[in-house]
Chain A
């Protein structure tokens, strides 16, 4: 008996538009993280500057998503799973915007780090970034598919990103103690690692929203990948 089709077809169109905006924002945010790490690796200041400029595009999409969500709530008075879906989209748009801000922040630090120097830990960041990007990608797929199990799996992976951060923290602090001349640059790297760790946390938050939108219940505490001892916070 259940279909996703509403009697009022234009309602489906509007919900489709809203979900499309989220997908578009997510794609841009993933790309921004990826580009930021590439720019960092190759000390590509051109690309880094472009990421900062492109962030405006994501901000605009967030505004559009917010306007559309508010309009749907006002004009369609969605209920039950529709209501949860629209509220989730509204919140997820805000979170993606934050994720993109972290990518922008990484890009802004790029000119301040000399990648041709001898900062060895730099090689670990791309692997950490890949994990964080995958989390963002997969959680937005879970949103698109309204798939609570896929959302739970994303949460479980946050622990790996946290582990990356904790080990990087130790390595970078050691590095600074041994090479006090690099403290300025390595601190920037530490912030970048922290940014990636936060992106993982935000992906986890989105996963919880996706789970609630899909099921109407909140994810159990143990499924959120909680209780990770975080060092260096």
Chain B
């Protein structure tokens, strides 16, 4: 079920990835590719390893002391687990949006400006303001906040906060955006806005999204990967996975026959 093709063609190529938390193996021999201009949905029951796998893609698991990653994950052909890899730089190139919106307790402007500033992407305030405006526009939030950029980011609604977090992620000009259930805390309207945003952003980035919502995976992604018990059971075009999955386990899960 693993997608095997020349490694450098893809934005991200994961090969034979194993992840352990202490003695417990959370990911088993997963190989998969992610491309620019494609939204890939990772689906599977709770505890299947999809979030763990997502977090290997920008080394977020490094923050968990007992976590150990084996195998190879290449970003543009470069091994992201190589000793010389700058993790801060990596996380700018591979941005992340979390389940709960987590804006900094700072102004809307500062939330977006923080990344570009620490990465030295702007040499003066005008440039920084440009980046903030462009990022907020791309995140579909500009019109709603342009008159109150100095208000606290935490004063926004949940959906706006999540779009602010997306603006913050794209402000550093990433190549890949990882989203871990980005809509699970949002109402249907705010969810629809995020989904529309994902659709608009996909042309610029490779997007990988973890979701528990089958319909959301079907709506936003072009490719879908089904994880179960730490293994990648099946991956393929989203329409194939949802109309005619090859594996019984995939079918049982997406049709609600599992467990």
Contacts and interface: CB of A to CB of B under 8 A. Distances in A.
Interface string B225-258: 0000000000000000011110011111011111
Interface string A77-117: 11111111000000000000000000000000000000000
Interface residues of B, number: 18
Nearest to B215: A77
A5 interface: yes
Interface residues of A, number: 19
Given A1-B248, A216-B243, A216-B244, A80 B254 contact: yes
Interface in A1-36: 1-8, 11
Contacts of B65: none
Contact of A7 (B218, B242, B243, B256): B256
Contacts of B250: 80
Given A7-B257, A7-B258, A7-B259, A79 B242 contact: yes
A87 to B, nearest CB: 10
Interface string B4-47: 00000000000000000000000000000000000000000000
Nearest to A215: B244
B214 interface: yes
B256 A2 contact: no
A84 B240 CA distance: 12
Interface string B200-215: 0000000000000011
A82 B244 contact: no
Contacts of B242: 79-80, 83
Question: Main secondary structure on chain B at its contact with chain A?
Answer: helix
A91 B112 CA distance: 52
A79 B252 contact: no
A2 B245 CA distance: 13
A204 to B, nearest CB: 22
Contact of B251 (A2, A8, A11, A217): A2
Nearest to A212: B244
Interface string A199-223: 0000000000000000011000000
B116 to A, nearest CB: 41
A2 to B, nearest CB: 5
Contacts of A7: 256-259
Contacts of B252: 1-2
A8 B244 contact: no
Nearest to B251: A80
A81 B249 contact: no
Nearest to A84: B243
A84 B255 CA distance: 11
Given A2-B257, A79-B218, 19 more contacts: A1-B248, A1-B252, A2-B248, A2-B252, A3-B257, A6-B255, A7-B258, A8-B256, A79-B242, A80-B244, A80-B245, A80-B250, A81-B251, A82-B255, A83-B242, A84-B244, A216-B243, A216-B244, A217-B244
Interface of B: 214-215, 218, 242-245, 248-252, 254-259
